[in-house]
Chain A
Amino acid sequence: MPSAQEPQPNEAEGQSARASARRRLGKFDLSSQGPILGLILLAIVGTALNSDFASLANWMNVLTRTSFIGIIAVGMTFVIISGGIDLSVGSMVALIAGSIILVINSLATHIDAPVLVVIVGMMVSLMMGAAFGTMHGLLITKGRIEPFIVTLGTLGTFRAVLTWLADGGAITLDFGLSQTYGPVYYGTLLGIPIPVWVFLGVAIIGTVLLRRTAFGRYVQAIGSNEQVARYAAVDVDRVKILTYAFLGLCVGIATLLYVPRLGSASPTTGLLWELEAIAAVIVGGTSFKGGSGRVTGTVIGAILLSVIGNILNLTSIISVHLNAAVQGIVIISVAFLQRRRP
């Protein structure tokens, strides 16, 4: 932390000047505090409009429903910092959800151990996510195709395959099995829902990976200047593949938490989640151009986005037709709060 120690004399002059400028601004450094400030403001407004907003039950609802997008957004943070993008995550959720429901349903007819079957299903979810992510990484690095194009392609493909598997309808978990699987979403530990714990865990792992490991530094180096990173002997391809694989794994985790909620997957599952996840990352202060970003910012960004919807549902001061407009204005305002100095 810059405030903790004096700049070393051998540091570049520009950098030390910037660091001291930042120190002078002290706690009013809006560019990193924007999202949390926005969230606090929203919480005040929400509580003023409806006192139930501040209730523990409501916060648990909000955090639980944020956990899917939030977990995906943590993975997305790495991809975006490295200068990439993944548009396919929503479709990937749909395809993995449908696939594991089919796997669980069919295994259950052969094996009479529902808990084991559900665990196998959860493992399949993680493996599919990691495999899809790795495939993206390989196509982007070894195949030398733009990430936008690769993931735009799979965005359509994943959802189409799910629609085909579901024959256009919904794939539904058998009732007895959804009773077994249910606690993974609806269960609580120390009064806090399981998905919130998992979200917290993923966020901590993400923070440590980004800030405390060589991998995290490579990701940031590639995002700020890929060519220089290559000259510095960073195995750029390998790091990039790993970021997509990590995102895929996050999608797998989100999906295994999502499936027990409604016990079904349909062609509308995960629709537009990619945009929500990307928005959470950017609102959270990660640069869309890559190079720098924070996992904690992403977590706050994701919570902020679902709090807006929550407040709108808890009040009826404006026409429901304008909900999306309010969301849009809040997103832009928060982005304005944390804008970078040129």
Chain B
Amino acid sequence: MSVLASLTRRSALALALGTSALIALPGISAAQEKVNLGVSIPAATHSFTAGIVWWANEAKKDLEAAHPDDLKITVKTSSGAPEQANQLQDLVTVTGINTLVIFPFESAALTQPVAQAKNKGVYVTVVDRGLTDPSAQDAYMAGDNTAFGKIPAEYFAKKYDGKANIVALRGIPTTLDNERWEAFTSVIDKYPDMKILDAQYGNWNRDDAFKVMQDFLTRFKDIDLVWAADDDMAIGVLQAIRQAGREGDIKEVFGGAGAKGMVKTIMDDDNPLIKADVSYSPKFIYEAIKRTAEARLKGEELPETTILPSELIDKSNAKDFYFPDSPF
């Protein structure tokens, strides 16, 4: 639906641009400085990517309104690496983009297509996962996976005086998950009285997290803290705790990513088990598009690597992270 809406919006815009170009024919040399920005992102197949799509379209709306004459943004979604590669060709040859913000499905498969686009003079910003050959990109922006694991560990250590029994959930075996896990354990290891009882994969999925947590509750009679490592998994964890009637002895559950439901719970303080979260918002696509567009409009380059920070969300700052209209 949103794709359709953006499609019509896009063609309306193209029409408007076309007519204004016709009227202002003598001024055509000025129009050459225009930034024609293509955005290539995964289609909305789960809540996080739905957030990516929503924020990309927000960026298009806001930025095109701010720069009506010299910026055009085309947002394309794709449901797999091959489709994304084809789309990239279309963006370059048909849409005629000169700037690209891409969230690649896979690093290896997209490196060559992106390199070809760059060779044709397109300025490339890669988001989230880097390409296998960094020379194919001009700039790289990503969320901070180390902080994603470090922040909850430090928060636990500080709040519970370095003394707690922790069970942890992991996502899907990937480098991203490993980075988070290593960051978490490296902090916990510094505190001899903080013990990780076990960690199992919950596949970033509510149902699997529910099952794993049920079994943790059967297995361990003394759990203080749960690092659910994801807001979706935290929902499954909370249900399992409630079912087992263990709200009394478990002190806190820490999710991750800053989904709006979780942020609202923290803001309203309406679940004693949920007090904090760490941001890893799909909003980073908005930041990436905004920074790229603004730098290109001024003819500047972006820094080679930008890490968009993950922050601790608690009651004091939750409202800054609450976006009720976003699907995530």
Same complex: yes
Residues of A near any B CB (own CB < 8 A): 50, 52, 55, 57-58, 61, 65, 163-164, 166-170, 172, 186, 261-262, 264, 266-269, 271, 309-310, 312-314, 316, 320-321, 323
Q: Which positions 197-219 of chain B face chain A at CB distance < 8 Å?
A: 198-201, 203-207, 210-212, 214-216, 218-219
Q: Is the CB of B205 within 8 A of A261?
A: no
Shortest B5–chain A CB gap in Å is 12
* B-chain residues with CB within 8 Å of residue A268 when the two chains form the complex: 46, 203-207
State the interface size on chain B (CB cutoff 8 A): 38
Q: Which of B14-22, B142-150, B158-166, B235-243 contacts A (4 or more CB under 8 A)?
A: B235-243
Q: Are A168 and B218 in contact (CB under 8 A)?
A: no
Asked whether B303 is an interface residue with its Cβ less than 8 Å from the other chain, the reply is no
Q: Which residue of B lies closest to A315 (CB)?
A: B219
B53 surroundings in chain A (CB, below 8 A): 168
Q: Which residues of A contact B211 (CB under 8 A)?
A: 65, 309, 313
Contacts of A321 in B (CB 8 A): 173
B327 at interface by CB-CB < 8 Å: yes
Instruction: Give the CA-CA distance A271 to B214 in the complex, in Å.
Output: 20
Q: Which 7 residue pairs spanning A and B have beta carbons closest together?
A: A168-B50, A168-B44, A313-B215, A169-B327, A169-B47, A58-B218, A268-B205
Question: Do B46 and A61 have beta carbons less than 8 Å apart?
Answer: no
Query: Contacts A264-B206, A320-B170, A323-B201 hold; do A314 and B219 have CB atoms under 8 A apart?
Result: yes
Complex Cα distance, B169 from A293, in Å, reads: 38
**Which of B50, B204, B218, B235 has a CB less than 8 Å from the CB of A61?**
B218
Write out the residue numbers on chain A whose beta carbons fall within 8 Å of the beta carbon of B210.
261-262
> Which residues from chain A contact B1 at a C-beta distance below 8 Å?
164, 167
Given A65-B214, A261-B239, 6 additional A-B pairs, CB 8 A = A52-B219, A58-B215, A164-B1, A168-B49, A271-B205, A321-B173
B45 within 8 Å of A by Cβ? Answer: yes
- Complex interface: chain A residues within 8 A of B46 (CB): 168-169, 266-268
Q: How far is the CA of A313 from the CA of B240 in the complex (A)?
A: 14
B11 within 8 A of A: no
Cα–Cα, bound, A245→B176 (Å): 43
Best-buried of B2, B198, B215, B328 by chain A (most CB within 10 Å):
B215
**Least CB distance, A129 to chain B, in whole angstroms:** 19
Q: A55-B218, A262-B207, A309-B211 are in contact. Are A316 and B45 (CB under 8 A)?
A: no
Chain B's nearest CB lies how many Å from the CB of A217?
37
- Give CA–CA (A269, B235) in the complex, Å: 14
B47 touches A50 (CB 8 A): no
Contact, CB under 8 Å: B173 / A50: no
Residues in B with CB closer than 8 Å to A168 are: 43-47, 49-51, 53, 327
Taken together as a complex, chains A and B put the C-alpha atoms of A321 and B218 apart, in Å, by 22
| B200: contacting residue among A186, A271, A320, CB under 8 A | A320
With contacts A58-B218, A267-B45, A269-B207 taken as known, whether A262 is within 8 angstroms of B236 at the C-beta atoms is: yes
Using an 8 Å CB-CB cutoff, how does the interface string of B28-47 with A read, 1 for contact, 0 for none?
A: 00000000000000011111
In the complex, chain A residues whose CB is within 8 Å of the CB of B239: 261-262
Question: Which residues on A sit within 8 Å (CB–CB) of B219?
Answer: 50, 52, 313-314
Using A169-B50, A266-B46, A320-B200 as known contacts, say yes or no to A310 and B215 having CB atoms under 8 A apart: yes
Chain B residues lying within 8 Å of A164, measured Cβ to Cβ, are 1
Given contacts A268-B46, A269-B207, contact A167 B218 (CB under 8 A): no
In the complex the two chains form, is A266's CB within 8 Å of B206's CB? Answer: yes
23 A-B contact pairs sorted by A residue (CB < 8 Å): A57-B218, A58-B215, A58-B218, A61-B215, A65-B214, A163-B45, A167-B2, A167-B44, A168-B43, A168-B44, A168-B45, A168-B47, A168-B50, A168-B327, A170-B232, A262-B236, A266-B206, A268-B46, A268-B205, A313-B216, A320-B200, A320-B201, A323-B201
A321 to B47, CA, bound (A): 26
- Complex: how many Å from CA A65 to CA B243? 13
A227 and B43 alpha carbons, distance in the complex (Å):
46
Q: Is the CB of A163 within 8 A of B44?
A: yes
The A-contacting residues of B in range 206-263, CB under 8 angstroms, are 206-207, 210-212, 214-216, 218-219, 232, 235-236, 239, 243, 261
